[in-house]
Every structure is written in C-alpha cells, then in structure tokens.
Amino acid sequence: MAEERPGRLTTQQVADRLGVKVETVYAYASRGQLSSERAPDGKGSTFDAREVAELARRGRRPAARPAAGDPVEVRTGLTLIEGGRLHYRGRDAVALAERYGFEAAVGWLWGIGTDPGARFRLPPEAAVALHRAAEALPAGIRLPDRLRVAVAVAAATDPLRFDLREQAVLATGAGLVAGLVEGLPRTAPDPGPEATLAARLWSRLASGAPGPGSVACLDRALVLLLDHELAVSTVAVRVAASARAHPYAVVSAGLGATDGPLHGAASSLAHRMLGEVLAGGAVPVIGEHLRTGRPVPGLGHRLYPDGDPRAAALLAAVRRLDGGERVVAAVEEVARVAGGQPGARPNVDLALAALAHTAGLPADAGEVVFAVARTPGWLAHAVEEYGEEPLRMRARATYTGPRPQAE
C-alpha cells in the first residue's frame, strides 16, 4: 500500500472520497483533472487532497456539450509548452530524454510509471498478417505509406478494437507501436524481440549494424517527439476520438495529417536541402530558396521563438556520432546564412534530417521516426478525449456560397 503523506491521499482514499472506482481515479488523472505523484515506496500513486476536495465540490460530471460551432476548450494533463520548454506531465522533455529511453518516457506519459515503462509487444496473429501484407506491397513503396498499411492490417486482426476503456486502449497502443515497426522491411541485423523499440526501428531503417551511440541517438529522437500538445495531427486524433473512433482509426487520422509537407513530412524536405548543403555549401542553396520564394525547410517554430529545445538536444547527440560533427556544422551554416530570416534557428525537422544523413538512413526516415514516436502521444490524447462529451468537436461553417433560391 502507498505510504501516507500529509496533504496526500492514496488512490483508494481518493476513490472512497469521490465515491468512484479506482480505475476512475486514474481516468481523472489521465484527463488532467487530478495530478498524481509516485508514492515514496514506489507502489501506487498519491494525490493532492485539495485537488480531490475541489473535484468533489464542483461535481464529476463532464460539462454539457457545447452548441455546434461554439469554441471548444481542450483540457489536457499531458503536455505543456511554456517558456520555450516542452514538458510531459510536468517533466522537462529534454531532461527526460537524457535520462530515459522511449519505453520509460511512454510509461511516464501514459501514467504507468517509468519502471518498467511501456512494453511494445505484437500479438502473434497480427505479426503474421503484417508480414504477409508487407510482402504483398510493391517494391519501392515509401516507408510512411507502409506505416498506414500496417495500422489498417493490425486493426483488421483485432476484433476487440472497439474497447475504449483506458487500459484496453493503452494495451492496444503498445501492440500497435510494435506493429508499426514490424510492418517495415528489415534492412539490418535483427536485434531480437527483447531489444528496445529504438534498436528494432534501427534494423528497419539502417543498412547495417549501428555504430557507437547510434541507437541511443535514435532513442532520444523518439522521446523528444513523443507529444507536442495540440499539433495538427493531434487535433485530428482528438476529433476522431470525439466521434468514438477506435484506437487504430484515431492513429490513422493522425498519420493522415502527418503526410503534409508542413508537419510530419517536413523532415524529408529538410533532408533534401541538407544534402545539397553538404554537397555544395549553404550559400547557393539558401540563395536559390530565396530567389524562388521558397521557405528554407527546417528553420523556425512558432512556439519556440528563441529556438526549438528538441532540435538543440537532438543535434547535440548527433554531433557525438561518427561523422556527426560535419553534418551539424552544415546545419549551423544553414542557420547562419539564413540568419536574416525571421526565426532562422534549426527546428526538430532539420535535426531529424541531420540524424538521417549522419547515420546513413533513408530520406523519409524522419517521417517514420516522427510517426512512430508520436503514436503513443496520440493514444494518450485519445484516452483523454474518450472521457469527454462525445462529438463535442462538431464545428459549424460560415457559409459563403450563393443563397438558397426559391424553386
């Protein structure tokens, strides 16, 4: 049993005071209605007694569904972007990436703890179906497209996919993340089923065994991309979850949004640009972008006017890889040459491109890393949205067409 502390309540005490089940207490925590801390003995969680009292005072029923077209407030207990820093459930994402791997970070975001964190294991029947589907796809198909196929195939093998309870959604999500990696063709030695997700993903992206620090660098990228508040793909996920779409469907919605060049696919554009810079220097490349009126990919982020902390953390790790110094120097040259442009600082898309160039990964590797990393974040948002009033995100349009005419 969790050790009692002044001003803190155990999970069972919270359940008793609110008159709900223990599972419901964890649901309140996942939605941001209660904040939890790991008990000092590491067994269970504790909650602030004042927050519990306030929740009991105002009642636990969700707010009435807003009228269609009214602004919808999206409350989340997952991710905070403030003061130029990114935080997952109150912990700095960069610090989390320095201390933990992806499994532990996902465990933290999912509220199940960093030890042992999430376990990404694929059901055997899904593995068989994914292998068959992968073999049936044409040669040369883009890796991000394989991810979309993998989600559809995994969904078709899961007759219980409509179970929207939190524990079921997270269990489904753990298998789906493993399935995304399993749906990619293996290109390097198999690290084995007990390897970290980063090691397994490396074997699907790289052409050979990893060099010193390579898998750790990929692992860091996954943690840094785990969630990003209400990014456009996350909004798509929450809209789908608002309609009570199952977990595979909400991930498909997120993947659809990432296919745009201004979101998940931005790293591929940055990869091409960085390759040109590595071959011929930044001045002619940036000059051509300016001449044609094209924005320089991989620079700036509206939420980080003083620089993307994810990019800085990932580039620091890339620099330590074999050949990384030269690639990061090219990134810095791009930022320096484009310095006259607003917000000309590397963002995480350019950092992903730097990782791909240094490690010899394909041009669309950044898109894959982004999608695999963001999937657990999307599912955490889906869990929150499942706890809200359904269909609350139904918007109304401002009609600009011709007025109806009498027949």
Residues 43-86: tens digit of each pLDDT:
678 888 888 887 777 554 444 555 555 677 898 999 999 999 99
Residue 22 domain-assigned (yes or no): yes
Instruction: Give the pLDDT of residue 4.
Output: 46
What's the pTM value of the predicted model, to 2 decimals?
A: 0.83
387 in Cβ contact with 30 (< 8 Å)? yes
Q: Residue ranges of the chain with pLDDT lower than 70?
A: 1-6, 30-32, 42-43, 58-70, 340-343
Residue 380 lies in a domain: no
Q: What is the pLDDT of residue 341?
A: 59
With respect to residue 39, please indicate whether it lies within any of the assigned structural domains: yes
- Judge whether 342 lies within some domain: no
Handedness of CA 210, 213, 214, 216 (dihedral sign): positive
Total domains in the fold of the chain: 1
User: Could you tell me if residue 32 is inside a domain?
Assistant: yes
Q: What is the largest CA-CA distance in the chain?
A: 75
CA within 13 Å, CB half, 303: 15
Residue at 44 is within a domain: yes
Phi, psi (deg, nearest 5) at residue 39: -65, 150
23: in domain: yes
Give the pLDDT score at 402.
Answer: 92
Model confidence over 346-369: pLDDT tens digits? 999 999 999 999 999 999 999 999
What tokens were used for 197? 């997700």
Read off the pLDDT of residues 286-332 as tens digits, 9 standing for 90 and up.
999 989 998 899 999 999 999 999 999 999 999 999 999 999 999 99
Range of the domain at 31: 7-52
Exposure class string for 386-395: b at 16+ Cβ within 10 A, else e = bbbeeebbbe
Cα–Cα distance for residue pair 378/370, rounded to 1 Å: 12
* pLDDT of res. 361: 97
Q: What is the DSSP letter of 153?
A: H
Tokens of 214: 């390579």
Query: Is residue 16 included in any domain, yes or no?
Result: yes
72, 339 Cβ separation under 8 angstroms: no
